[in-house]
Amino acid sequence: MNSLNEYVKYLSMLEQYKNYKNNPCNSSFFNYDFAIDTSELKTYMPKLSLNNFENDWEHFKNILKWVKTNLPHDGYNNSNVPYDAISIIKFMKNKQIGPSCMMLSFALRDILGLYGYYARVVQTCPFDPRILDSHWKVLAYSNHFEKWVMLDPSWCAYCLTDDIPLSIQEIRTMLIKREKFDIINHSGFSKAHYHYLLCRYYFHFNSFIFNETGMFEKSDQRRINLSPEGFNANDYFNERWHLEEPDMKKWMKVILARFHENTSYINDEEAFWQIPPECLETSNKNRLQV
């Protein structure tokens, strides 16, 4: 199948599976913890203090640029390293190799947490397990825009409409409606190719309940999967596991297999993309930034 046919197929599957159950609730699946020692991590980015930027969105963009400059992406790196920013930065510098999209997203989430921002990692997955691929991104809450925004550390990318950054949920909806939005990326990809990748990966999503430094290794960590109605994500992951190449399966068994039994599957997009209640409080806009 050529890339144009794939593009059409991915987009048509998004349009076919566009419906969710929406049951707004007061509670949240996700927890955020900022109780960490930030002194070591701060030494790597002395010029990224929030005070140097007009607002948090300008801060986010400069953090993305720091990640691109200091942690250049290597999509085929399956090294076994703790998924926290300090471990990833040290490992990559010592080994002189680039981090995967998964590593980059966990590192970016920690860096955003360092500055007091609410952020979580989101794994974006295609509809077909035979694709044997996914992409990891970060969802961060901007006080300036009072909304979630998507940050892609692998390709130093984000999406805009009328100069307002878009969330993952908004991007998926606009893809389905075939609405235009602007794509900013510093990866060397054309905008058309990045749009193709969005159609490829924005079918169903994973995120983690506990969001803090060292979250991936947390013993009671759980995963939430959001899928459109009519799609069985559990079957998707079972089939993908059986299709994986031996080397990748070995890595997945060490890194990801424990979440196979620790995943809750939902169709409720409002619950999955819910803004943390703390972000809606006026006092949160005056959070002390390091």
pTM of the model: 0.92
Please state the domain extents for the chain: 3-286
pLDDT in tens, 87-113: 999 988 887 778 889 999 999 999 999
Given this model, what pLDDT does residue 128 score? 94
pLDDT of residue 289: 44
pLDDT at 287: 45
Mean per-residue pLDDT over the chain, rounded: 88
**pLDDT beyond 70 at 148:** yes
Q: Mind giving me the DSSP string for the chain? A: --HHHHHHHHHHHHHHS---B----SS-S-EE---S--HHHHTT-TT--GGGSSSHHHHHHHHHHHHHHHS---TT------SSHHHHHHHHHHHT-PPPHHHHHHHHHHHHHHTT--EEEEEEE-S-GGG---EEEEEEEETTTTEEEEEBTTTTEEEEETTEEPPHHHHHHHHHHT---EEEE-SS--HHHHHHHHHHH-SEEEEESEESTTGGG-TT--EEEE--TT--HHHHHHHHHHHS-HHHHHHHHHHTGGGSSSEEEE-BHHHHTPPPGGGGSGGGGGPPP-
Of residues 140 and 81, the one with the higher pLDDT is 140
Query: In the prediction, which pLDDT does 1 show?
Result: 46
pLDDT recorded at residue 2: 64
Which tens digits make up the pLDDT trace of 75-89? 767 677 889 999 999
